[in-house]
Amino acid sequence: MTRNPLRLLQGSSRTVMPGFGLTVGYTVCYLSLVVLLPVSALGLRAIAVDFDAYRAILTDARTIAAFRLTFGAAFVGAVINVVFGFIVAWTLVRYPFPGHKFVDALVDLPFALPTAVSGIALTSLYARTGLLGRVFEPFGVQIAFTPLGVIVALTFIGLPFVVRTLQPALEDLDREYEEAALSLGATHFQVFMQIILPALRPAMLTGFALALARALGEYGSVVFISGNMPMRTEIVSLLIVGKLEQFDYDGATALAVVTLTLSFMLLFTINLIQWRYAAKTRNTA
């Protein structure tokens, strides 16, 4: 006697997706250990900090200068990475050339290098006596131990996020639309602005957000090239480490909470813009 598969499926108490309960439990447990518990511990510590500590942190001139440099340099570095990361991704996807695989692997170098090694290498290159620093020295441009050096370091560590986000989007982009537009008399600039850029905008926003988030929390690659000069080249992560070394745990916690809150608000705004753009694209399709 043959059995109806649908009846067996309906009468079975087992889920349609085998292992779903186990994978969900593992995912929740893993995220709790890696993300939820550390953030919760920071939140509990933040509640115990007196409100005067937050007021002192937010009104301190040194803290304001560190926040201004951190968010400003991170934003500039992310914008630079969106522009030049797009060029790199476009070249790797659209123009095969000798050494293509080597250049593609070179993009991941900031991932592979320890951040302290990256900081030492960048400082050696951009110092006044460095290979690149001596080129800018006659023009009166100093990169190492200036805010410009911080931007260079944050741009270096954020580039792979933009390139690796844009590459799949470029590979999935159908060239038939570009060829059809060109055959109808559109210029290459019109094709880029009206066909290519709208299709890549979500990936570009995602790469920008990832590069920005990575730059906001960077420490190792900046500690050497910045020089850690208060009111000039000191970023928030360096200020937090300095307070920890002075056993000022309340001040370090207050700085961490304020940084986390501002970073979350900034990233949430970027994601909100991306969600609205995706919804608008679906409605007009």
% residues pLDDT > 90 (the chain): 29
Specify the pTM: 0.82
> In residues, how long is the chain?
285
User: Is the pLDDT higher at 203 or at 285?
Assistant: 203
Q: Are 230 and 22 in contact (CB under 8 A)?
A: no
Q: What is the pLDDT of residue 3?
A: 53
Q: What is the pLDDT of residue 64?
A: 92
Q: Is the pLDDT of residue 145 over 50?
A: yes
Long-range pairs of 125-128 with CB within 8 A, sequence gap ≥ 24: 126/152, 126/225
Residues contacting residue 188 through CB under 8 Å, at least 6 positions apart? 182
Domain ranges of the chain: 35-279
**Distance linking the first and last C-alpha atoms of the chain:** 50
pLDDT digits (tens, 9 = 90+) for 2-11: 555 445 444 4
Token pair for residue 155?
């741009």
Fold of 35-279: MetI-like fold (1.10.3720)
Q: What is the pLDDT of residue 18?
A: 61
Q: At what angle do helices 236-245 and 61-94 cross, to 10 degrees?
A: 130
